[in-house]
Amino acid sequence: MSPSSAASLSKARAHAALAGPTSLAPAAPGFDVPLGADTLRVELTAPNILHVQYRRAGHAPAPTVVIDPALASAHRPAAEVAEDAAALRLHSPQLEAVWDKQEGDLRIGLPGQPPLLRQFAPGSLAHGRLSLIHTKGEPMYGIGGFDAVEPATAGLLRDGYRTVTAGEQGHAGAPFVWTTAGYGVLVDGVGGQIALGDTRIDARMFDGGLDYYVLVGDPHAIFGALAQVSGRSPLFPKWAMGFTNSQWGIDQKELLDIVHGYRERHIPLDNFTLDFDWKAWGEDDYGEFRWNEHKFPDGDSGRLKSLLDAQGVHLTGIMKPRIHLHTVEGREASEHGYWLAQSDPAPDYFSGKPVREIDFANPAARAWFFNAALKHSFATGMAGWWNDEADDVAVDLQHMDMQRALYDGQRAIFDLRVWSLNRNFYLGAQRYAYGLWSGDIRTGFASMAGQRQRMLSAINVGAMQWGMDGGGFKGGTPTPENYARWIQFGAFTPVFRVHGELGQHRQPWVYGPIAEKAATDAIRLRQSLIPYIYSYEHRRRATGIGLVRPLLFDWPNDPNLRNDYDAWLFGDSLLVAPVVEEGQTVKPVYLPAGEWIDWFSGKHYAGGQTIQHPADAKGWSDIPLYVREGAIIPLAPPMDYVGQHPLTELEVELFPASRASRFDYYDDDGTTYGYEQGAYFLQSMQLQAQDGAANLILDAAQGSYQPALRSWLLKFHGDAAKAVSSNGRALEAFASVDALRASQDDGWATGHDRFGPVTWVRVAAGRAQSVALAH
């Protein structure tokens, strides 16, 4: 067994030891297959989720950290269970499982259809092995992404032998494989191997026993089920939807000068992330956890926080998994046994003093890590955690458990939302407000291009909150063109951030006026989309599907998309395919089935074809960005940071299509966990064009939160309306949209924009109503 495997096994056992085997009566619809003294339990967790578990002498193994503890108390679905001489059967409207008594195998699939999967040799589960048979040629995804330096030439598809691991920096892993053929398989284990053949899925896990779940449905249903089983992600603070500037090598004066540079240029900025500089790193008396009073003299008092609060900027800071041995906290760690066994004392590359890594699998060590000094740093300005380098000890759960220490610690004493970035991911980590970034990547176009498959592969294992070091971390300064194109790429990722190595600057004005304008325009576009983006923050928590997703999620049967990572969906309504080649003048973009509109030019395209996007190779001013038919896109007015001005009226771009579409607009206070007790505003919108009319149905708002929002200014694109009504009542027509805006009353007006004819309609927000346009 490799050192990595041994470490994974050690940690898996540590987590499994949280609860020993227990004798369980059936808690969900299902059946038991006797296997000598042991039992194979087959049961429904949800209508489209099957749980298969090997129980020694009737005892169920404890779930690992992959499984959400809340799953045990989840409502169980109704299902039919039957037995005859030939078989045991479990049946729901969405899933069927049959134990063939003669063949001795389990068949899993859709009711009334040939099985999707067949499990044979069920006794092998007792030895941590699973073998499943499936139809030949099904495209497979999941298991793991790519670390920061390995070639990503495999793209999104997975085959052959794969290690199940969190991996090294930038990697995302899960004991999870899925296919657009209509199912996913989630194994409850930490560390192992999955081998994918033409007709087989073979899994081996290091932690001994083996449970697995089969999730049935299209990709949306599969990932919804994955979130139900492995856990939903809490909301990030609303400011985290904006732009983050990270920097290594900075002090208080330069920080304030840079923030002033953003504000005087009206370039949006919401978060500034500090590297080693913010800490008293290497000093005694909790230097790893407190402000560096020499570089940031106003940090410890909270005055720096007040100065930045006034400018709408949040501070987040780096955290390391190691501490110095010969300090107060180092001696405490030695006294209480908090050191990680796989970590040997070694000189720190930054301080030169001996350090060692904390064992975050130890609950006592986690509780100790969020100490009084760190609490004070949070109270005086550190609004989030950038967890670095917990990926180089071959322990799959080290990053997860490090962030778990911060999440549990912060939630125990503050109601402000937790934010984090971490350098690898293992499924289950999303429960702890866990973001992933792709590691210490190089600058340059080749590195930038490789981030596409890294992002989408991470999302394919459930790491929905993904980001990267925009501009590249290593390799010096990017060219102005590389920087501009990287900012445009980053504007359409879940976590929008720039960073560079020691002494590097990633502010737009550093790269000359042409790059500054291109970058500024992209950052401002991102900022205008915050209402749209934040609504998908809610959608991710509710459904398991995040802001960004591969195109194959929505067009699973299009063979052109099986391994496509050149473009992706940004929410339901936008498709983006950033320019990632130097000097490119024409970029081919494949548009899936449907109708698409260029966001910038308004030109219409039929889907199911590759178009040739003319790229601006000199001014870098273009982003290949396309609006999907049926789009519903709320846009905020220009702001320098999230929440700078209250949103009393929100403009909504509407592109009616014969295909009915839906958008759930979401808002809350953006900072606390009040939404968990119902303090939110949620209004659903359904849009459709039919019989020469466009209709928008607005449901009554849900939740107790009362936003500043008072009205929607709806922008219906398409033929200009001749009459507009709400709930059957004719609305007043205004001579122009300017007159409509000035009135503050409900009403409508017509005009044109880059998309063509427009009908503007103002109605009250929060009320249930049906808006109809007659053409």
Task: Classify residue 149 by its DSSP letter.
Answer: S
Is residue 38 part of the annotated active site? The answer reads no
Is residue 391 part of the annotated active site? The answer reads yes
Largest pairwise CA distance in the chain:
82
Tokens of residue 541, six digits: 């928590």
Is residue 388 part of the annotated active site? The answer reads yes
The residues, any chain, with a CB within 8 Å of residue 65's CB and separated by 6 or more, are 15, 190, 397, 400, 428
Backbone φ/ψ region at 643: left (φ over 0), alpha (ψ -120 to 50), beta: left
Which residue out of 207, 440, 521, 640 is catalytically annotated? 440
Backbone φ/ψ region at 2: left (φ over 0), alpha (ψ -120 to 50), beta: beta
* CA proximity to 441, closest of 482, 469, 476, 477: 469
Q: Cβ–Cβ contacts within 10 Å for residue 610, how many?
A: 10
* CA proximity to 370, closest of 288, 299, 277: 288
DSSP bridge pairs for 347:
354
Name the H helices within 2-135.
Answer: 3-16
For residues 249 and 504, give the distance between their C-alpha atoms in angstroms, rounded to a whole number.
8
Tokens of residue 302, six digits: 């909270």
Contact of 302 with 381, CB cutoff 8 Å? yes
DSSP secondary structure letters along 575-642: EE----STT-SEEEEEE-SSEEEETTT--EEESSEEEEEE--TTT-----EEEETT-EEEEPPP-SST
Contact of 177 with 196, CB cutoff 8 Å? yes
Contact of 580 with 623, CB cutoff 8 Å? no
Q: Cβ–Cβ contacts within 10 Å for residue 20, how many?
A: 9
Which residue out of 68, 188, 211, 388 is catalytically annotated? 388
Residue 170 burial (C-beta neighbours within 10 Å; 0-12, 13-18, 19+): buried
Which residue out of 391, 554, 572, 746 is catalytically annotated? 391
Cα dihedral sign, 223-229-230-232? positive
**Rg of the chain over CA atoms, in angstroms?**
27
Place of tokens 């796989």: 342
- For residue 589, the number of C-alpha atoms closer than 13 Å in the C-beta half-sphere is 28
* CA proximity to 19, closest of 62, 66, 68, 83: 62
Q: CA 416, 417, 419, 424: dihedral to nearest 10 degrees?
A: 130
For residues 376 and 407, give the distance between their C-alpha atoms in angstroms, rounded to a whole number.
15
Residue 678 burial (C-beta neighbours within 10 Å; 0-12, 13-18, 19+): exposed
Return the SS3 of 389.
coil
DSSP bridge pairs for 548:
570
For residues 666 and 433, give the distance between their C-alpha atoms in angstroms, rounded to a whole number.
19
Cα dihedral sign, 143-146-147-151? positive
Return the SS3 of 401.
helix
For 54, the enclosing helix (H) or strand (E) is strand 49-55
Q: Which residues carry out catalysis?
A: 388, 391, 440
